[in-house]
Structure 1
């Protein structure tokens, strides 16, 4: 007689994880050939920490070691973050704002992903919807989908350097819309929003009565004509929840130290119960390691400016290589030169390719034939585009793009 068990796995978790960057990249990497003697070129990831040009500063490493050896950070911390870490983040972000943040505005999280999870969970309620950018970072879709939180997508406009389609934001919004998300500097587009455009975003959100979630995990990683402007600058126009971390600017994603910050001089988020709900979420979840929190004050204070200059200059050089090499590949089009973050979106012209069905097929065959891993654009919301990472050694990037050119030449339709 067959036994009957009353439990089983949650299928929605598998469905949610399938649309993450990791899930899609794992699917692409299954096609890598073990017979290829060449090194795999990873142009689909967002973690350059393995490459010598992107080694974090020894000052940050020393700060973590000192925090551990002090024996002051071996116990549990507060669920909202230890006081020195909250104060350090408030001071760090306040340098770019027209007002000063309080430590009470800062909530420490396990990387930026927990901050995203927190604010999505806090804002979700029956019938609510949230406006997400397309293309965007698919963790938002995974998290909202799993939470049965309706996501509506507004386009970023490639012909306008990936600016937000604000008319679409207004037309998508209704009485159940609670927030919109912007990612600046842009993942996956490599764009950097200008001050005037961000102000229009703030004014639009205020008009609609929604808050802005500003994903600024790539803050200050800019190398074009547009400087980084934090959305919190416009906190007096509309409440802004900023999420960020030390992961990208310090090249330490594995340290898992992030934050959720309320930029809200008028106290609207407190009045609306959002702050209390953030605290409630953190009270029933895990908090980041206390020794990384204990190190963050020294990391902020002691990191020399030449470390940041080196990282930005390396990204600038790699972005130039990426943009120039893409121009040499007829099946790829880059609508605008990347100015920030670590990525660029390129459009795939399938009409001049043989035996390539779509962007996923392109990436699978590219991995198999050239040992180059690229993220299909469908994973970030744009079918038949590609997201290319340029945050690797410039020589490896150059090699990878030359292999993509060889792949094109082999699959180009015969004239």
Structure 2
């Protein structure tokens, strides 16, 4: 270097970098690529069918009760301080009471740990369980943050398939074949992201029995709890905690339509004390001690928000999602290049299979989505992001009129690229 200066002693990590690889196909990473590919000359509204954040649409606005709870907490000037690493006690108690509505036993505040959204709950769980030679069983398809954080923590991932012909139920025979003495847990996401499935009591019971047989815990991602609009009601995995220990992950992000508030939880459903005796609870607390906390004033708002939200708000959201899911499923039938194995019954998504043999000039699902964004200003998530190459994840949690426009553009895109007979 000039003037005899010492060579800089830092540089970005080179070579194989699993974290960078995971980030490249993360939801945010792919959304950024799609946004960069939009045609700036196209003055039409961009239709966001790629992510689960409906909060920008007026019909999905959160309840005034939530707004008032936040305002009251801020104006009180009582919550400008640091919170305990596990979360404020009244907030933890409120989450326990909320979950207890659906459980055959009672959680206490000590079972609840508050996190920066469900994403941080995932990060804490993975960090708490990671150890040399350990592995975790993830569904395929799966919310990609599980893969990314497992790579970051050097926790081996093994995938079991979800079966589209069986309503995206877990292939439990595959779970048994994959597990060994180093398997620590299996993950289920119910209601399903990205599948739109809702698991029956009977299937969840089989999941619990399988996990018990294998001596592993179940991590149950229930961030879309109660967002169901088909024939199957939501059943929390914690119902089966007397059979197998369950870590439940959740948040207010989706049911209250406030993903930007980053208020989530990690809950130990463990009436037999197995997680405590094995040191998992202490490991969770240790991870929280070196992590960031959700904002104190939002924690303080939780009791008021949960207690005062009326059923008509939830019913309105469910009715909109039901209508949107029906529109989405119906419109998909008119688009030859994609097929939907089952009508979504929960969450905000549906998975559709891409038939490349009917298209010209399209290499794979990512290429499809990049060209769709450029040509039609419609953003859809490629299946590779959730572990299913040449599938697509479509979000229907947007204004129904915008959803119809987006799917009509998708049909036009199909016609433009259809293989000539």
Specify if TM > 0.5.
yes
Instruction: Name the counterpart of 1:306.
Output: 312
CA deviation after TM superposition for structure 1 residue 100, in Å: 0.5
CA deviation after TM superposition for structure 1 residue 29, in Å: 2.0
The separation in 2 between residues aligned to 1:48 and 1:323, in whole angstroms, is 18
| Correspondence 1:119 to 2:129 | no
Give the secondary structure class of the aligned counterpart of 1:156. Answer: strand
Q: Tell me, yes or no, if the aligned pair for 1:82 and 1:293 is still in contact at 8 Å.
A: yes
Instruction: Name the counterpart of 1:264.
Output: 270
Structure 2 regions of 5+ residues with no counterpart? Answer: none
The separation in 2 between residues aligned to 1:324 and 1:158, in whole angstroms, is 18
Residue deviations 1:321-355 (CA, integer Å, cap 9, x gap): 00000000011100000000000000000001111
Instruction: Name the counterpart of 1:21.
Output: 27
Instruction: Name the counterpart of 2:193.
Output: 187
Instruction: Name the counterpart of 1:39.
Output: 45
The residue correspondences of 1:148-297 to structure 2 (distance < 5 A) are 148-297=154-303
The separation in 2 between residues aligned to 1:129 and 1:70, in whole angstroms, is 46
Which range moves more in the overlay, 15-24 or 141-150?
15-24
RMSD of Structure 2 on Structure 1 (CA) = 0.9
CA deviation after TM superposition for structure 1 residue 4, in Å: 1.6
Give the secondary structure class of the aligned counterpart of 1:30. Answer: helix
The separation in 2 between residues aligned to 1:10 and 1:344, in whole angstroms, is 37
The separation in 1 between residues aligned to 2:191 and 2:345, in whole angstroms, is 8
Instruction: Name the counterpart of 1:338.
Output: 344
- Structure 1 segments (4+ residues) deviating >2 Å: 8-16
Q: Tell me, yes or no, if the aligned pair for 1:19 and 1:142 is still in contact at 8 Å.
A: no
Instruction: Name the counterpart of 1:402.
Output: 408
Instruction: Name the counterpart of 1:58.
Output: 64
The separation in 2 between residues aligned to 1:240 and 1:401, in whole angstroms, is 39
Q: Tell me, yes or no, if the aligned pair for 1:133 and 1:182 is still in contact at 8 Å.
A: yes
Give the secondary structure class of the aligned counterpart of 1:67. Answer: helix
The separation in 2 between residues aligned to 1:411 and 1:17, in whole angstroms, is 30
The separation in 1 between residues aligned to 2:286 and 2:22, in whole angstroms, is 24
Give the secondary structure class of the aligned counterpart of 1:56. Answer: coil
Of 89, 95, 108 in structure 1, the residue corresponding to residue 95 of structure 2 is: 89
Q: Tell me, yes or no, if the aligned pair for 2:52 and 2:397 is still in contact at 8 Å.
A: yes
Aligned residues: 415
The separation in 1 between residues aligned to 2:326 and 2:63, in whole angstroms, is 24
The separation in 1 between residues aligned to 2:366 and 2:227, in whole angstroms, is 29
CA deviation after TM superposition for structure 1 residue 10, in Å: 4.2
The separation in 1 between residues aligned to 2:7 and 2:171, in whole angstroms, is 53
| Correspondence 1:7 to 2:10 | yes
Residue deviations 1:240-281 (CA, integer Å, cap 9, x gap): 000000000000011111000000000000000000111111
Residue deviations 1:191-241 (CA, integer Å, cap 9, x gap): 000000000000000000000000000000000000000000000000000
CA deviation after TM superposition for structure 1 residue 8, in Å: 2.2
The separation in 2 between residues aligned to 1:27 and 1:388, in whole angstroms, is 17
The separation in 2 between residues aligned to 1:319 and 1:187, in whole angstroms, is 14
| Correspondence 1:387 to 2:393 | yes
CA deviation after TM superposition for structure 1 residue 27, in Å: 1.2
The TM-score with structure 1 as length reference comes to 0.99
Residue deviations 1:75-117 (CA, integer Å, cap 9, x gap): 1111000100000000000000000001000000011111100
Give the secondary structure class of the aligned counterpart of 1:122. Answer: helix
| Correspondence 1:327 to 2:330 | no
The separation in 1 between residues aligned to 2:108 and 2:12, in whole angstroms, is 43
Q: Tell me, yes or no, if the aligned pair for 1:182 and 1:213 is still in contact at 8 Å.
A: yes
Give the secondary structure class of the aligned counterpart of 2:256. Answer: coil
CA deviation after TM superposition for structure 1 residue 9, in Å: 3.0
Give the secondary structure class of the aligned counterpart of 2:177. Answer: helix
The separation in 1 between residues aligned to 2:121 and 2:163, in whole angstroms, is 27
The separation in 1 between residues aligned to 2:115 and 2:390, in whole angstroms, is 35
